[in-house]
């Protein structure tokens, strides 16, 4: 290899270099960002990605529509005797299902992110260390809200009328999103342990499917064999559905809601630090 000298003709014009020098020397040094500012900045990053590729919201909009339509019209007559009555029963269930399936996405997105060079930059910035993770999961909560709203909208179009009124519905959505926030940390942990996004997706759905279906979301548990009924009763997803159903029907009990909030806090307390640890030490 020869070493040709850098001639003036090859070099950038002096004026441009001058601009680089100026940009360097004018660099202000603001005070270190707060954890909140950094976290929100990462949430903003998530929003920008949705704005650039809005199609990625299709899976959180179309799937819930399909779920709601299919369950209402296929099983309505068989389970409740009429579709309209069944709709009243399952809408809180499809709400929970649609939102909770979306939580797998948090793990998939994080796993994908880790393969990119930009994560190295984030991890060498002087910022509150969990900010990239909290920001991403906060951004994901917007997806959860979208998925939840779609389900409720479809339900209302089909004739759903909540006993708990608009306020009850909004509180139920909020509750489900809060639980989804907690559950997201399970999947971000999985996302950092698995090798490929595909594996995270498969593993996530494989774990969620039985939990969601062997719950009180779609059938009254009294009709189940006793062993199954016992499982349904302790299944945390059932707790979420029960609490959401109570809020939407206007028959909510404080204990149900508190239990779900406690579960969300527990999941966050266990899996957020675990995610953080894996994020910090991964390669």
Partner 1 sequence: MSAQYPLAIEATGLVKTFGETRAVDGVDLAVRTGSVYGVLGPNGAGKTTTIRMLATLLRPDAGEARVMGHDIVTESDAVRSVVSLTGQIASVDEDLTGRENLVLLARLLGFGWSDARARATELLEAFGLEEASAKLVKHYSGGMRRRLDIAASIVVTQPLMFLDEPTTGLDPRSRNQVWDIVRALVAEGTTILLCTQYLDEADQLADGIAVIDHGKVIAEGTPGQLKASVGGGALRVRLLDPEQRPEAERVISNELGTVHLEADPAALSVSCADADRAAHAIAELSRAGVRVADFSLGQPSLDEVFMALTGHPAEEEPQDEAATQEEQAA
- Residues lying near partner 1 in the complex (CB under 8 A) are found at 1-4, 6, 10-12, 16-17, 19-33, 37-38, 41-42, 44-45, 48-49, 52-53, 116-118, 120-127, 131, 281, 283
Short-list 240, 188, 192, CA closest to 216: 240
Our CB check for partner 1 shows the closer of 44 and 209 to be: 44
Closer CB to partner 1, 52 or 254, in the complex:
52
Q: Between residues 217 and 278, which has the closer beta carbon with respect to partner 1?
A: 278
- Measured in degrees and rounded to the nearest 5, phi and psi for residue 82 equal -150, 150
User: What is the smallest separation between the CB atom of 68 and partner 1, expressed in angstroms?
Assistant: 31
User: What is the rounded distance in angstroms from the CA atom of residue 188 to the CA atom of residue 181?
Assistant: 11
Least Å from the CB of residue 40 to partner 1 = 8
DSSP string, 198-255: HHHHHHHHHHHHHHHHSSTTTS-GGGS-HHHHHHHHH-HHHHHHHHHHHHHHT---HH
Residue (31 or 234) nearer to partner 1, CB: 31
Q: How far is the CB of 184 from partner 1 (least distance, A)?
A: 20
Distance CA 261, CA 244 (A): 12
Residue 4: CB minimum distance to partner 1, A: 8
Least gap, CB of 15 to partner 1 (angstroms): 11
Closest to partner 1 by CB, 25 or 223: 25
H-run or E-run covering 119: helix 118-123
How far apart, in whole angstroms, are the C-alpha atoms of residue 108 and residue 47? Answer: 17
């Amino acid at each position: 290899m020869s070493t040709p000298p850098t001639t003036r003709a090859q070099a950038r014009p002096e004026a441009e270099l001058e601009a680089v020098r100026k940009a360097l020397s004018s660099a202000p040094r603001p005070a270190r960002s707060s954890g909140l500012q950094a976290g929100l900045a990462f949430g903003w990053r998530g929003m920008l990605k949705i704005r650039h590729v809005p199609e990625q919201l299709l899976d959180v909009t179309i799937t819930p529509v399909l779920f709601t339509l299919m369950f209402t019209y296929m099983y309505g007559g068989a389970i409740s005797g009429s579709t309209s009555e069944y709709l009243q029963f399952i809408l809180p269930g499809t709400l929970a299902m649609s939102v909770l399936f979306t939580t797998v996405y948090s793990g998939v997105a994080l796993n994908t992110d880790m393969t990119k060079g930009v994560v190295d930059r984030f991890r060498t910035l002087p910022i509150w260390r969990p900010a990239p993770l909290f920001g991403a999961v906060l951004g994901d909560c917007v997806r959860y809200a979208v998925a939840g709203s779609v389900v409720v909208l479809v339900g209302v179009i089909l004739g759903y009328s909540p006993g708990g009124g608009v306020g009850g519905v909004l509180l139920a959505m909020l509750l489900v999103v809060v639980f989804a926030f907690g559950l997201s940390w399970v999947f971000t942990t999985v996302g950092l342990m698995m090798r490929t996004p595909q594996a995270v997706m498969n593993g996530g759905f494989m774990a969620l499917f039985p939990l969601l279906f062997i719950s009180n979301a779609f059938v009254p548990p009294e009709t189940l064999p006793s062993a199954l009924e016992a499982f349904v009763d302790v299944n945390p997803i059932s707790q979420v559905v029960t609490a959401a159903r109570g809020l939407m029907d206007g028959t909510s009990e404080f204990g149900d809601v508190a239990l779900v909030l406690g579960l969300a806090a527990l999941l966050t307390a266990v899996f957020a630090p675990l995610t953080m640890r894996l994020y910090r030490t991964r390669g």
